[in-house]
Structure 1
Amino acid sequence: MSPASPASPTPPASPDPAAPSAPPARDDSRARQTAPLDEVTLEVLSLFGEVSARYHEEYDRAASRHGLSGAQARVLSLLYAEPLPMRQVARVIRCEPSNITGIVDRLEERGLVERQPNPADRRVKLAALTDEGRRVVRELRDNLPFARQPLAALTTEQRLQLRDLLRRVLGERE
């Protein structure tokens, strides 16, 4: 048989009209990730870094005034909303569960945290703030002018907009 024969096993020379003309969406996202960064994106990334660095410097200073490490203060702040399983604390803080155990041990010795059984699974321990731990977290938050002052200059609508944009950047729902 000749290559032009309809029964030929070779693909036709012209593109198949039913074939997708663009790569799948996953390939598009990969292309966006490897595309050169424009000047605005580079500036935004730089500003993210500066804000993060200034916040962490201030947070670490506030923590040290209470005799806490930055990691201890972050654990306390995380627990302010609700008691959490130790593994979840480790995941959110982004450190090994064994490190969280040591951090919680030291906070417990100071009377800032206590371990409680999880009502849903008594094998799991929850880390929970004591009343003193709650007081320390409030003082820590009161000693973060960088975290408050720039945001105070924004209207409520602007702060909501900023929050929603940051959630979007992080891939969370608005």
Structure 2
Amino acid sequence: MISSRVMRGMQDELLEWDLSFSQITAMHQLRARAPMTVTQLSELTRLSVPAASHLVERLVKRGLAQRTENPENRREKLVDLTDAGRDIVGRMDSEFVRAYVTAFQGLHLDTVQAATHHLQRVLDELEPIYSCQEHP
């Protein structure tokens, strides 16, 4: 239920800005870790370097990202979001939070607390399994 609300909001944002899911993924990565090289972005988004380079070019042309010279390697460019790019990602975050608030605001506190307790137990049991898979 929450996922469909979040996806609907994301779809609206994608349509409004004519962005692909890959571009939004890249924008989230840039917000979290920028500045970074196109190669680093390609690794994080699981795109080929040429595909990531093309994606960055489209974001730059639309004023959502910018490239600057890497002071450590002048042959490389570093990519970062512009204020407009950060604004889009921030609006998507707000919609995400709003979907959860809307879904949970009518629940009784004791229901939320019980669910939190049980979900934490599930997460505690899953954590060793997933931490082993991430670090073989």
TM-score, with normalisation over the residues of structure 1? 0.54
Decide whether aligned partners of structure 1 residues 117 and 58 sit closer, same or farther in structure 2, where only a CA change above 3 A counts: farther
| Equivalent residue, structure 2, for 1:123 | 75
Q: Indicate which of 1, 18, 29 corresponds to 1:78.
A: 29
CA distance in 2, matches of 1:146, 1:167: 29
Counterpart position of 2:58? 106
Following TM superposition, the consecutive aligned residue runs of length 4 or more in structure 1 with deviations greater than 4 angstroms are 53-60, 145-157
Return the structure number with greater relative CO, CA threshold 8 A, min gap 6.
2
Deviations 1:71-108 (A, max 9, x none): 11111110002211101111111111111111111111
Residue 92 of structure 1 pairs with residue 44 of structure 2: yes
Q: Which has the larger radius of gyration?
A: 1
Q: Percent identity?
A: 26
- What's the TM-score, normalizing by structure 2? 0.67
Q: Which has the higher helix share?
A: 2
Q: CA offset at residue 116 of structure 1? A: 1.1
Match of 1:132 in 2: 84
SS of the residue 1:84 aligns to:
coil
Aligned residue in 2 for 1:63? 14
- Consecutive unaligned residues in structure 1, runs of 5 or more: 1-52
Q: Which amino acid aligns with 1:130?
A: T
Is the 2:10–2:92 Cα contact (8 Å) retained in structure 1? no
1:144 aligned counterpart, secondary structure: helix
Equivalent residues, number: 119
Distance 1:130 1:60, change over 3 A: same
* Runs of 5+ unmatched residues, structure 2: 106-111
Displacement of 1:146 in angstroms is 9.1
